[in-house]
A and B are shown apart, each in its own frame.
Chain A
Amino acid sequence: MPWQCTNEHQENKKGVMPRHYDWYSVMENAKQGLRRKNIFKSNTVMMFIVLIVVVVFFTIMNHNYFSYGNMANILLAASTVGLLSIGQTYLIIAGHIDLSCGNVAAMSGVAVALLINGGVPWPVAIIIVVIASSVVGFVNSGLVNIFMLQPFIATLAVSSVCEGAAFLICNGKSQPVNDKVFTSIGTMRIIGIPFPAILMLFLFLVFGFILSRTVFGRSVYMIGGNPTASHLAGLNPKKISTILYIISSMIAALAGAVMTSKMHSGQPGAGSGSEFDAITAAVLGGVAFTGGKGNLLGCFIGLLIIQTFSNGLTVVNVSSFWQVVAKGLLLIAALVFDYVRQKKLMI
């Protein structure tokens, strides 16, 4: 550099690590590192510990709880909400939200059933609904990015439209599917693990990789943290959020198809409300509503906590109504705990 700082020594003390290490500075840095990189600072690690505590607790209560079969069932039960929570995590990190995904799933589930019963081969039916549902994503994005509606309000309205549409296209009657191959997919198990769970795990891996390692994933974080600054740094927040809304709707459609296959029929009321479970999972896993923070691993752990907890309550014979209450309390506890921990670190 043509210019040098006059008091290099002083700068180095507070600045980046000096080129020549001495023992003192190595020790200091190590100490600082330990203090800063406190593993308890990581929400993901804390939630993982909570998950283990939950599993251990219910295993003590009932030894059948921690069996291969029951764990597989927990994954199966988590699969629909899990699929939806992928889209939610992306959107919430980007500073958006999609409340329509639950009803998009319901609508698509019914549509798949109708298509198959109408003679369309099942793979084609799935592809059709997945592609068709991207229209919903487009509409969501248009309302948010062009007409500047709040994502919460816009997707809430779209959600209502989809809910109604789900009932309209089947006249409010559930649609049993006769295609044996299609219905066997939802109940198929590979080495004991249900196929819907495998699909969910696979998508979590793929989208987890995209979010944490790719330029696109990083952009999602940046636009969520500060859309104006990101735009001025050359990103296109509107384009990115449009892609996210479309992804969310398409995954929701896929989840709807899986749901129909699992239940052997398309049911118009099936997915309604599951968007909130998906959001709960994401938030429990450390995805912040203010945007720019969180990851899919956390979301996955959050999802497992909810499922292991409610499954555990079933195993120890607690009423299912209590499970709903417990889910809410769990979320409150997690958020309060997170707040207290953050505050401690701040002071």
Chain B
Amino acid sequence: MENYVEFKDICKSFVGVKALQNISFRANGGEVCALLGENGAGKSTLLKILSGAQPADSGVYIINGDEMKFNSPVEAIRSGVSIIYQERQLVKELSVTENIFMEDLPSNRLGFVERKKAACETRKIIDLFKLPFSPGTKVKELSVAHQQMVEIMKAYRRNSRIIAFDEPTASLSDNEIGVLFELIEKLRQEGKVILYVSHRLKELFQITDKIVIMKDGCFVSDLKTKDATEPELIRLMVGRKIGDIYNNLDRNDNIGDVVLETKDMTNDYIKNVSFKLHRGEVLGFAGLVGAGRSETMRAIFGEDKLTSGEICVDGKQRHIRSPKDAINAGIGLCPEDRKEQGLVLGRSVQDNISITVLRQLSKAGVIDRKAERKMSENAVAKYQIKTPTVDKVVMELSGGNQQKVILGRWLSADLKILILDEPTKGIDVGAKAEIYKMVCSLAKSGLGIIFISSELPEVLNICDRVIIMKDGGIAGELTRNDVSEEKVLALAMHE
């Protein structure tokens, strides 16, 4: 019997906000169906409804001919639906086997676990997927990519008919993505229904058969991947033409003198990293995951100690031992992980913006509340952060707006250098375009900008110069005129 899932008129609202309106489409077994849309388009909500985590207000979904309505994730799992979320649902202290058999470890009549049987089954699945670890390995010892594979094996072991992936490649390197795609292909060939949520258009062309586009909780259209083109998808997703988001950027041509220079920075993670950053320049850092890009930035920002080497700002050597020293030297950082490292999620937009400049906004330690409010409202207006008031809790904003809050934080700080570590990770096309514009305007204002991204097209188009890192060192440097995806990859992966 062929697998399929069909959504019929699914509606869902949260206090007056319509998250989903009459969503209807069908995904067949043996095909990879992408769900595409900006953040807040309703993809995640739809997956949550399918997984039984949230009930739909109205509408049904039909799986292989049966009308279903799951009231809890357990029911969904029993009916063959597995969702692989961005945040992995694994118990890190337990072994691969225990995670794969999480909800029903094989046990004998007395309720004791049959370890050998479980390990044996796990071994079979691992071999099938050709993965290099053993059933007894603890999940915390695996790489992020392998942890993801464990999730997929879990879904496979459950014999799920429907497997949904929510942004599975967000934290994977290119090689790892290759392995993931092979697995997905395998599942597809076995006739499973695969739902695939991702912001990376390129991937969709690689792996999907069909693309369902959603916007503001509504179904926009579905089309065969082979008939689709990138500009068309963006147009459908955004509902307006962005055109080529890179071409319309108002780039800064006026590059000044050196503002940051590092000389032979070395510590446990990086070796002999030396580079120069000029005023008004956007300097890209490319490389595979683990090549030492973030580690270099951590060293510059005083998070990791240097064993040797020096950092000069404006030609003067600075001893940076903590982020505070870095900020005093005029360096700002938008960290890689917005939620963990960037924002205090439970506090207001205002608190998160003013955090770096609170000293300047206060007299004898007492905060000038009017000045603070004015400053944060300015940042909200300038960076077009969509929030009803600056008192709104940051947690409730969308990903793109959260990122803008972090950028807004550095607006009033007396900054010479701004480090952006994966600033567009997990945010939608519209918000990405706005971030690019911001980067250019900041460069125009004379800031030296370091731009790290795993998305190569972004690095190639935004940056004036690209430094490629590999194994903790600098593998090469390309200027805007002679940079190309092939050259960057060649340097990043060259043995």
Does A214 lie within 8 Å of B342, measured CB to CB? no
With an 8 A cutoff between CB atoms, is A49 at the interface? no
What mask results when residues 215 to 243 of chain A are scored 1 for a CB within 8 Å of chain B, else 0? 11011011001101111111110000000
| CB nearest to B368 among chain A residues | A213
| CB nearest to A214 among chain B residues | B365
With an 8 A cutoff between CB atoms, is A181 at the interface? no
The interface stretch among A10-18, A97-105, A150-158, A246-254 is: A10-18
A343 to B388 CA separation, bound complex (whole angstroms): 22
Does B351 lie within 8 Å of A221, measured CB to CB? yes
Which of these, B250, B335, B362, contacts A232 with CB under 8 Å?
A: B335
For B382, the chain A residues whose CB sits under 8 A away are 1
Q: Which residues of chain A (126-165) have a CB below 8 Å from chain B?
A: none
Does B384 lie within 8 Å of A11, measured CB to CB? yes
A226 to B402 CA separation, bound complex (whole angstroms): 15
Which of these, A14, A15, A226, A236, contacts B343 with CB under 8 Å?
A: A226
For A233, the chain B residues whose CB sits under 8 A away are 323, 327, 355-356, 409
| CB nearest to B334 among chain A residues | A232
A234 to B344 CA separation, bound complex (whole angstroms): 13
Does B351 lie within 8 Å of A16, measured CB to CB? no
The interface stretch among B60-68, B159-167, B272-280, B436-444 is: B436-444
Does B388 lie within 8 Å of A32, measured CB to CB? yes
Q: Which among B301, B324, B409 has the greatest number of chain A C-beta atoms within 10 A? A: B324
For B362, the chain A residues whose CB sits under 8 A away are 214-215
For B15, the chain A residues whose CB sits under 8 A away are 347
What mask results when residues 240 to 275 of chain B are scored 1 for a CB within 8 Å of chain A, else 0? 100000000010000000000000000000000000
With an 8 A cutoff between CB atoms, is B91 at the interface? no
With an 8 A cutoff between CB atoms, is B381 at the interface? yes
Which of these, B240, B340, B381, B444, contacts A16 with CB under 8 Å?
A: B381
With an 8 A cutoff between CB atoms, is A3 at the interface? yes
For B343, the chain A residues whose CB sits under 8 A away are 226, 229
Does B347 lie within 8 Å of A225, measured CB to CB? yes
Does A16 lie within 8 Å of B346, measured CB to CB? no
A230 to B341 CA separation, bound complex (whole angstroms): 8
Does A234 lie within 8 Å of B434, measured CB to CB? no
A2 to B364 CA separation, bound complex (whole angstroms): 37
A2 to B411 CA separation, bound complex (whole angstroms): 15
With an 8 A cutoff between CB atoms, is B289 at the interface? no
With an 8 A cutoff between CB atoms, is A269 at the interface? no
Does A5 lie within 8 Å of B384, measured CB to CB? yes
With an 8 A cutoff between CB atoms, is B112 at the interface? no
With an 8 A cutoff between CB atoms, is A292 at the interface? yes
Does B440 lie within 8 Å of A292, measured CB to CB? no
For B380, the chain A residues whose CB sits under 8 A away are 16
Which of these, A6, A15, A29, A222, contacts B351 with CB under 8 Å?
A: A222
Q: Which residues of chain B (376-429) have a CB below 8 Å from chain A?
A: 377, 380-382, 384-388, 409
Residues on A facing B (Cβ under 8 Å): 1-3, 5-7, 11, 14-16, 29, 32, 36, 213-216, 218-219, 221-222, 225-226, 228-236, 290, 292-293, 347
Residues on B facing A (Cβ under 8 Å): 14-15, 240, 250, 301, 303, 322-324, 326-327, 333, 335, 340-347, 351, 355-356, 358-359, 362, 365-367, 369, 377, 380-382, 384-388, 409, 434, 437-438, 440-441, 444
| New A-B pairs, 5, CB < 8 Å, besides A14-B386, A225-B346, A231-B323 | A221-B347, A228-B340, A232-B341, A233-B323, A234-B327
